[in-house]
């Protein structure tokens, strides 16, 4: 079970989100047949998107993260909702790089550093909120933290970790977002930064069996830690045959006529879950007649 904890510390001066997403990332790995490097990259990405999703206020609000740093992975896309459920894909899931100089999976090299991180929030208004920042490292956690600090003016620390097992399955995955609220003491930020640097990697702690509560207590037990909510979340695609059919109809009569003349059948595949939808010639004819 994947879940996110919502908490505060230091009398509310610090806002916290802690996620254990091992099952969610493993589901993404199986759907997209991800290489170890792609698992680490997309796993970090969907963990961040899931935590950012539960920050949304409205029940129908959605958040879309996209990132392309010019690296061999290509586009990373993740869509989450206010329940923290997420769907995602990466352009080149087969890409796998040698370990970096630290002996870790080379997420930064696979993502690249020449491009942008985009955040689009659909809050049910006429226009969505769009934020964009240049990619700093391609390691994803640093880039998400930079987005919060620059685009939303909320000083933040973001830790994301994915541990890939020897059989390429996901052994552990999770994340932590620490945000300083307006008026918070600057020394508090220094203390938290030091503590985050001192603890073992998140993925290691999760692999050892530590829960989200354990990790928060390890960091903030003496800082008036209050855990308010535990939100179960999952990898979930909301595509359906009806939605795909509506998208086809939206192409218009002229394009549907062309497809009817040139194709015996239309086969479409969802980027997010790889489900295939097949429409036979007679079904295309019916769509044209119903327009």
pLDDT in tens, 139-189: 999 999 999 999 999 999 999 999 999 999 999 999 999 999 998 888 898
Q: Give the DSSP per-residue string, the chain.
A: -EEEEEEEETTTTEEEEEEE-HHHHHHHHHHHT--HHHHHHHHHHHHHHHHHHTT--STT-EEEEEEE-SSTT--EEEEEETT--EEEEES-TT------TTSS--HHHHH-SSSEEEEEEE-SSSS-EEEEEE-SSSSSHHHHHHHHHHHS---EEEEEEEEE-TTSSEEEEEEEEEEEPTT--HHHHHHHHHHHHHSPPHHHHHHTT--HHHHHHHHHTTTT-EEEEEEEE-B-----HHHHHHHHHTT-HHHHHHHHHH-SEEEEE-TTT--EEEEEHHHHHHHHHH-
Average of per-residue pLDDT across 185-211 = 93
Could you tell me how far CA 177 lies from the centroid of its own chain?
13
Does residue 196 register a pLDDT over 80?
yes
Does residue 218 register a pLDDT over 90?
yes
* pLDDT at 260 (0 to 100): 85
Confidence of residue 2 (pLDDT cuts 50, 70, 90): very high
Average of per-residue pLDDT across 126-136 = 94
* pLDDT at 223 (0 to 100): 95
**Predicted model pTM:** 0.93
Average of per-residue pLDDT across 244-264 = 88
Average of per-residue pLDDT across 67-75 = 97
Confidence of residue 200 (pLDDT cuts 50, 70, 90): very high
Average of per-residue pLDDT across 24-30 = 98
Domains delineated in the chain: 2-233 (3.55.30.10), 241-290 (3.90.1280.10)
Average of per-residue pLDDT across 229-241 = 96
CA distance 186 to 192: 10
């Amino acid at each position: 079970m994947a879940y996110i904890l919502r908490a505060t510390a230091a009398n509310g001066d610090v806002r916290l989100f802690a996620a254990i997403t091992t099952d969610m990332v493993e589901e993404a790995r199986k759907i997209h047949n991800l290489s170890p490097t792609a698992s680490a990259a997309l796993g970090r990405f969907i963990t961040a998107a899931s935590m950012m999703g539960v920050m949304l206020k409205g029940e129908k609000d959605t958040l879309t993260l996209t990132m392309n740093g010019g690296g061999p992975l290509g586009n990373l896309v993740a869509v989450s909702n206010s329940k923290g459920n997420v769907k995602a894909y990466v352009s080149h899931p087969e890409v796998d790089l040698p370990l970096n100089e630290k002996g870790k999976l080379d997420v930064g090299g696979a993502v690249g550093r020449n491009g942008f991180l985009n955040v689009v929030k659909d809050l049910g208004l006429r226009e969505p909120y769009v934020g964009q920042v240049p990619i700093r490292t391609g390691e994803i956690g640093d880039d998400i933290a930079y987005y919060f600090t620059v685009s939303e003016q909320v000083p933040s620390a973001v830790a994301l970790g994915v541990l890939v097992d020897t059989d390429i399955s996901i052994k552990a995955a999770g994340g932590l977002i620490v945000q300083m609220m307006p008026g918070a003491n600057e020394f508090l930020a220094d203390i938290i930064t030091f503590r985050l640097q001192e603890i073992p990697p998140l993925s290691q702690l999760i692999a050892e069996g530590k829960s989200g509560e354990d990790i928060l207590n390890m960091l903030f037990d003496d800082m008036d830690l209050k855990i308010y909510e535990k939100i179960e979340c999952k990898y979930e695609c909301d595509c359906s045959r009806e939605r795909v059919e509506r998208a086809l109809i939206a192409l218009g009569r002229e394009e549907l006529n062309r497809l009817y003349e040139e194709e015996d059948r239309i086969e479409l595949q969802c980027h997010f879950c790889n489900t295939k939808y097949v429409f036979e010639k007679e079904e295309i004819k019916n769509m044209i007649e119903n327009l």
